[in-house]
Amino acid sequence: MTIENSPSAPARVNLLGLSRAKLEDWFVSIGEKKFRAAQVMKWVHQLGVDNFDEMSNISKALRDKLKQVAEVRGPEVVYREFSADGTRKWVFKVGDNSMVETVLIPDGERKTLCVSSQVGCALDCSFCSTGKQGFQRDLSAAEIIGQVWVANRSYFEDVPDYDSRERALTNVVMMGMGEPLLNFDNVVPAMDIMLDDFAYGLSKRRVTLSTSGVVPMMDRLTQTIDVALAVSLHAPNNTLRDELVPINRKYPLEELMAACRRYLHYYQGDFGRRKITMEYVMLDGVNDQPEHARQLIRLLKDVPSKINLIPFNPFPHAPYDRSPRSQILAFQKMLVEAGYICTIRATRGDDIDAACGQLVGQVQDRTRRSEKWRESVARSGEILRSPQ
């Protein structure tokens, strides 16, 4: 059981990251009834409550006991930005020098939250700014679900009346920083809570795990939890994919496609409708040519898929450019004519840099700049106004 302790003694159990099964076990372990888990989960996840005193259907005696031994502690927000188009972003501090980001992208009725699973990433894809940061550490289940909790809760700020609070998020994609399948033991309980009717109650079609292709863990995922799968394909042949997504050298396309087929086969009773989302970043002159579209069509012919073209999001010193719009549209046309569902990801939120690891980079730069400024002020003994 992943239990986070507060630095103050006595250590309290952070209930935020516990799935219902684990929370039930925990209540039993403190001599209470199992059903308390569902009650507390509703307060915490559906109503955004972190104060036991507000949990009015729980006796005063139990609330006092909970205050002694437990807490509900979300990750520390160090930066947040709500833009006019409805996009919301957060940067969380998770440990001394570590930050992760979470982005909420609205689209009509849909509100999709893009959640991080690790600080940095070890897989070093050549077009990814998170990869360039290297791997620092896994997030705990509480830090992962904590991103969902904070985002959902942000919609309750102007709704003091609990009865009027409605679930805000409709979709979660594990497409923030990190490779979720390399943090399996924390990602699975967090996704469990996303699906739980006593928590976020999201449908399994609306929780998507995105992987760069950690083949053995894809099989483990299939056996463990039923969620939608997205694969970061990005190249239609091994030579190019070896370069863009280095984990391809370990698990080449033949193995990746076989793992995709196993996932689809496992759910074949699913009205035959399940598809894998293939993500394909559009890099100018690298993977966006007609020959690449033709190879992709051949590669995916027996793997029911929908293809999501992602215009490359440039970052400082990135070795690529975004494909021109006309090139992306021509690529899409070839796939659509071959019978595929092929969408182009909207690049909305660009104004505040909604892309994989980039916001953290900016906030870190800003923090460093203001730290340097504070240090220089302290050294010179001058009294100055803030550089903002």
Round to whole Å and give the CA distance between 288 and 297: 13
Q: Which is nearer to ligand SAH, 14 or 358 (CB)?
A: 358
Indicate the SS3 state at residue 85.
coil
Active site residue 260: no
Reported as half-sphere exposure (CB side, CA atoms, 13 A), residue 364 has a value of 13
Paired with 137 in beta bridges are 119
Q: Of 103, 125, 217, 342, which lies in the binding site for ligand SF4, with binding defined by CB under 6 A? A: 125
Does 232 sit near ligand SF4 (CB under 6 A)? yes
**What single letter denotes the amino acid at residue 71?**
E
**Nearest distance, CB of residue 312 and ligand SF4, angstroms:** 12
Does 58 sit near ligand SF4 (CB under 6 A)? no
Does 214 sit near ligand SF4 (CB under 6 A)? no
Q: Which is nearer to ligand SAH, 18 or 103 (CB)?
A: 103
Residue 382, phi-psi category: left (phi > 0), alpha (psi -120 to 50), beta (remainder): beta
Nearest to 5 by CA among 17, 19, 23: 17
* Beta-sheet strand order (sheet of 276-282): 76-82, 88-93, 99-107, 110-114, 171-174, 207-211, 228-232, 276-282, 305-311, 341-344
Q: Which is nearer to ligand SF4, 202 or 355 (CB)?
A: 355
Active site residue 356: yes
Q: Of 27, 198, 200, 312, which lies in the binding site for ligand SAH, with binding defined by CB under 6 A? A: 312
Does 179 sit near ligand SAH (CB under 6 A)? yes
How many whole angstroms from its chain centre is CA 83?
19
Contacts of 267 (CB under 8 A, 6+ apart): 226, 274
Out of 24, 101, 179, 279, which one is annotated catalytic? 101
Reported as half-sphere exposure (CB side, CA atoms, 13 A), residue 248 has a value of 21
Identify what 146 binds: ligand SAH, ligand SF4, none; CB under 5 to 8 Å per kind: none
Round to whole Å and give the CA distance between 86 and 151: 12
Binders of ligand SAH: how many residues, by CB under 6 A? 18
Q: Which is nearer to ligand SF4, 222 or 313 (CB)?
A: 313
Does 282 sit near ligand SF4 (CB under 6 A)? no
Q: Of 37, 128, 193, 354, which lies in the binding site for ligand SF4, with binding defined by CB under 6 A? A: 128
**Nearest distance, CB of residue 226 and ligand SF4, angstroms:** 22
Q: Of 188, 355, 359, 360, which lies in the binding site for ligand SAH, with binding defined by CB under 6 A? A: 355
Alpha helices in 304-357 (DSSP H): 325-337
Q: Which x/- pattern, by CB under 6 A, does the window 273-302 give for ligand SAH?
A: ------x-x---------------------
List contacts with ligand SF4 (CB under 6 A). Answer: 121, 123-125, 128, 130-131, 178-179, 212, 232
Known catalytic residues are 101, 356
